[in-house]
Structure 1
Amino acid sequence: MIEQIHEIPITKESYPFSSAYKYCDFKHKQYIEKEYFMDGTSNVYQSIGNTGEVKIKYRDVSYRNRMIVRMPQDIKKASGNVVVEIINPTSFMEIERMWILAYEKFMRDGDIYVGITSKPNTIGKLMEFDENRYASLSWPNPNKEPFEFDLEDMTKKHLIPDLDIHYETGLFWDMLTDLNKLLRKNEDINPIHAYPHSYIYLTGWSQSACYLFRYLNSFRKEKTFDGYLAGGGIRNLIVPVNQYESCMDYDFRLRRVEYCPEPLISMQTESENGQFDAFRTKRNDSDNPDFLYREYEVTGSSHDTMYSYVNYYQNDEDLKRIHMLPSYIGKHKEGNDYPSQILFAAAFRNLFNWVRNGVGPQSCPRIQMEFDGSNAKDAFGNTIGGLRTCLLNYPTTRYCATSQVEIGQSFVDPTSDQDPLFGYQKAFSPTLLQELYGSLSNYEKLCRKDTKKQVSKGFVCREDAEKLVQYALNVAKKRGLK
């Protein structure tokens, strides 16, 4: 249980890691950002068999974790929606990918964001950034026994090499459940108690989406969160209950969710929709009371993009100082910059409406696939089907979801100088664009008509329609259409 919450003072000399205040124009948008320590106790669990059932192995292990909270400055402008993100730890740096993809929607609608540190492997970089601020963070390991597997061998097998005998990753499950309970309280211990906080949602990207899947499969014993949005889930990664189970042969069914009576939306990019066993674990959209589910496969997008992984950080000097500034590390000239953030904004709004009104959003056709799980391509080299925009229905570019790197190279290998899940784009020639669309003005008409259709289906927010059209026009101009 969470016993105490301590606000960490913010000054010019000491401020949160990767502070959104620097990136997102909080002063103009009238948003505020606060950071807190969470002090409490968590159980550590172990598996009963390999199908997801768990039992307590160690009770009441004391910890100190952190969370970041972003909310409207004016309480009256709060929407009542609270989004909890399992902050992604894969790069050994705290990456708030779901915030990055949806912050413009959150801030214009008055949604509250809460990000929670999900894995202690990032504490090292937090301390390198500001040791005085983060030195007290603690995820102690109650099991002092050495691992039964070889960490170096795990790295060779392309598993995530971020385990350490000095901490225990399995403390997180109770932290998450207890945070949900805390945020529902109307007491001073709740940092958002003064705000409307009726609906609480859980989200996560990539490895953190897999944390979300594991949470639903093993720790949702009763209703906890009101809804879920998983982004970019790597389906062949089953998150272990504790770090000592990292090499456990879990049942294949744990690679997907089979029971969720609260609305769950899964957003997959082209990098994951067929790879990593995803094409073997697909679930149909459902309105069954025991499984409320939508899956959207975002055609054209890749796991990492210029917008979500590079541009957001704005050449941050703090991240440069600790050698963690994200950069485009694909081998191609132009990194994928498909505006999937526009579609994620609509997905969050659909989730919120589903929870509040009980009416599920429209389903969307899935990406067409070949027998081996690869995506089927059209004559231009773009993928067929999926959640589309005018950029794919009237293309000026071939969007690729993966870099062409050496077979077998792990996308989570910290020693790699290339990122195979960072896609790229290849421009059509001005001559081809002229043949396809005639003129920029005609292309604009096509894009506006297509975007209006996507808005009517709920796949694009009305507020983002003009932005999407202008984005498409700017790309067409860059490619030489006049």
Structure 2
Amino acid sequence: MIKQIKEIPITNDSYPFASASRYLDLDAYGYVEKEYYIDGLANVYESIGNTGEVRVAYENVAYRNRIIVRAPKEVTKASGNVVIEIINPTSFMEIDRMWILTHEKFMRDGDIYVGITSKPNTIAKMVAFDKKRYESLQWPNPREDVELPFTNEQLLASGLLPDVNIEYEPGLFWDMLSNLAWMLRSDDVQNPIATYPHTYVYLTGWSKSACYVFRYVNSFAYRKEVAKDSQVFDGYLAGGGVRSMVVPVNQYESLYAYDYRLKRVEKVKQPFISIQTESENGWFDAFRTKRQDSDHPNFLYREYEIAGASHDTMFSYVDYYKQDEDLKRIDMLPKYDAKHAYGNNYPSQFAFAAGFKNLFRWVREGVGPASCMHIAMDEQGNNRKDAFGNSIGGLRTCLLDYPTGQYGIASTIEKGKSFLDATATTNPLFGYEQPFPASMLEVLYQDAKQYTALCKEHTKEQVSKGFICKEDEEALINFAVNLAIERGLPICKK
């Protein structure tokens, strides 16, 4: 239950953490960004068995969380699509990756974006960023006197981060999320988007937050107390899900032996699209938990695998933040620390834009998107490579079918550079690029004029299949051609 939603004033001296207005010209898009406190009551749940069924363990725990809302300035320009992102907490910093990947599509189409803090381990950095703005956030643990049944060392040994704390309870999030969705559907005067068209509400998340989406669908979306004889969300899009990870119902269950089926979606009556990059399409148990595309009423599902892209890219993890001085100040500025000269910058943002466009059409018109072949793998979950060293199959663009370089998905790093494993010498979440020599490009494509023709033909076909938005066709072609020229392909062969 939400008791109060209160706007947090934005001034020159106090503004949201990682505010999009610091990285993008929201005015140019006709968008506005606002932030709100949400005060309410939430239950904490516990598992019944290990396959996803839950029950209430503690009732009506008072909390304060925050949301960030980005919407058109003009109400009449809103599309009616409302996307809630479970903001990613894995690096102990709020990363709104689905916004980063898809903001161009959202803002050109008038979609409303709402990001919600998903785990209280990120509050410390928000407080360091602006104490007055965020020190009142609270997720109290109703059993703070009960010790956690594991140590940080045991968490690390299991491959999990030591991001739990007996002083708070992440398990409050499930009700926070459901109650927010119902509030955004309503015409309640407290609803921050009540004056906008807000008919369709979708849930999305990246990486660990994609696993939150899996868990929500499997354990909460169809509970009678949550669904209220209707549906909480109209559709779902999970991006980059690391499927070896099952999000626990509460932090005391962090080392619980959950069934493997909770690493994927088991049943979903609303359209669900999963988009994986090469970092997660086979690794992290993904090759053992794949689901087939389906139009069955109890399983409306598509899964796409973006060949060439790694989990993090220069665009989505480094360049977007524009060397933000505030993030530098609290030592949280994302950076590329690998030994390779070029970080992976495959333009997966175009595939995600098409993914959301297809999801919205599926929900609103009942038209399921086309299926796409998966990336070819060996029996260990490793992606098979073509003669150029790039993966075979998957969702492809002209950058792979007419390559100007090789795309690697695991970069070499120095020990201590990975926040996931201090002993690691590779980063499986951030890949690299190895450009082809200019002489090779000239043999393959002659010059930029010929290469442009190839990219146009290829992209036109991908647009016809719905894998690239028509609005992004020119931008993708320009991206590929400019990259080829940068790597030495002659503009015009004499």
**In structure 2, which of residues 397, 422, 437 is the aligned counterpart of residue 429 of structure 1?**
437
Deviations 1:137-162 (A, max 9, x none): 00000012111111123124321210
* Alignment root-mean-square deviation, CA: 1.5
Shift of 1:306: 0.2
Do the aligned residues in 2 keep the contact of 1:401 with 1:424 (CA within 8 Å)?
yes
Matched, 1:43 2:43: yes
Shift of 1:207: 0.3
Distance in 2 (alpha carbons) for counterparts of 1:408 and 1:259: 40
Q: Secondary structure at the match of 1:349?
A: helix
After alignment, is 67-76 or 398-407 more displaced?
A: 398-407
Do the aligned residues in 1 keep the contact of 2:88 with 2:94 (CA within 8 Å)?
yes
Matched, 1:203 2:204: yes
Shift of 1:420: 3.1
Shift of 1:430: 1.2
Distance in 1 (alpha carbons) for counterparts of 2:415 and 2:17: 35
| Distance verdict in 2 for CA 1:328–1:408, change over 3 Å | closer
Do the aligned residues in 1 keep the contact of 2:455 with 2:477 (CA within 8 Å)?
yes
Shift of 1:403: 1.3
Deviations 1:33-76 (A, max 9, x none): 00000000000000001110001110000000000000000111
Deviations 1:221-272 (A, max 9, x none): 2321000000000011000000000000001111111100100000000000
Deviations 1:346-389 (A, max 9, x none): 10000000000001000011101111110000000000000000
Q: Secondary structure at the match of 1:44?
A: strand
TM-score, length basis structure 2 = 0.95
Q: Secondary structure at the match of 1:158?
A: coil
| Distance verdict in 2 for CA 1:418–1:2, change over 3 Å | farther
Q: Secondary structure at the match of 2:71?
A: strand
Do the aligned residues in 2 keep the contact of 1:330 with 1:420 (CA within 8 Å)?
no
| Partner amino acid, structure 2, of 1:154 | L
Residue of structure 2 equivalent to 1:300: 308
| Partner amino acid, structure 1, of 2:42 | S
Distance in 2 (alpha carbons) for counterparts of 1:99 and 1:265: 16
Deviations 1:417-476 (A, max 9, x none): 974311000011111111111221111100000000011111111111111001101111
Residue of structure 1 equivalent to 2:353: 345
Contiguous gaps of at least 5 residues in structure 2: none
Residue of structure 2 equivalent to 1:190: 191
Do the aligned residues in 2 keep the contact of 1:233 with 1:272 (CA within 8 Å)?
yes
Deviations 1:193-245 (A, max 9, x none): 00000000000000000000000110012321000000000011000000000
Identity of aligned residues (%): 62
| Distance verdict in 2 for CA 1:417–1:71, change over 3 Å | farther
Shift of 1:404: 3.5
**In structure 2, which of residues 245, 257, 260 is the aligned counterpart of residue 249 of structure 1?**
257
| Distance verdict in 2 for CA 1:433–1:384, change over 3 Å | same
After alignment, is 449-458 or 154-163 more displaced?
A: 154-163
| Partner amino acid, structure 2, of 1:158 | G
Q: Secondary structure at the match of 2:315?
A: helix
Q: Secondary structure at the match of 1:452?
A: helix
Shift of 1:131: 0.2
Matched, 1:32 2:40: no
Residue of structure 1 equivalent to 2:86: 86
The 5-angstrom pairing of residues 66-465 of structure 1 reads 66-144=66-144, 145-221=146-222, 222=227, 223-404=231-412, 412-413=420-421, 419-465=427-473
Q: Secondary structure at the match of 2:237?
A: strand
Residue of structure 2 equivalent to 1:2: 2
| Partner amino acid, structure 1, of 2:54 | V
The 5-angstrom pairing of residues 57-72 of structure 1 reads 57-72=57-72
Distance in 2 (alpha carbons) for counterparts of 1:415 and 1:34: 41
Matched, 1:473 2:481: yes
Q: Secondary structure at the match of 1:367?
A: coil
Q: Secondary structure at the match of 2:261?
A: helix
Contiguous gaps of at least 5 residues in structure 1: none
Do the aligned residues in 2 keep the contact of 1:411 with 1:420 (CA within 8 Å)?
no
Q: Secondary structure at the match of 1:309?
A: helix
Distance in 2 (alpha carbons) for counterparts of 1:134 and 1:416: 34
| Partner amino acid, structure 2, of 1:54 | V
Distance in 1 (alpha carbons) for counterparts of 2:400 and 2:327: 34
Shift of 1:413: 4.0
After alignment, is 62-71 or 429-438 more displaced?
A: 429-438
Do the aligned residues in 2 keep the contact of 1:329 with 1:417 (CA within 8 Å)?
no
| Distance verdict in 2 for CA 1:68–1:238, change over 3 Å | same
| Distance verdict in 2 for CA 1:420–1:406, change over 3 Å | farther
Q: Secondary structure at the match of 1:287?
A: strand
Deviations 1:317-347 (A, max 9, x none): 1111111111112221100000000110010
Distance in 2 (alpha carbons) for counterparts of 1:130 and 1:383: 44
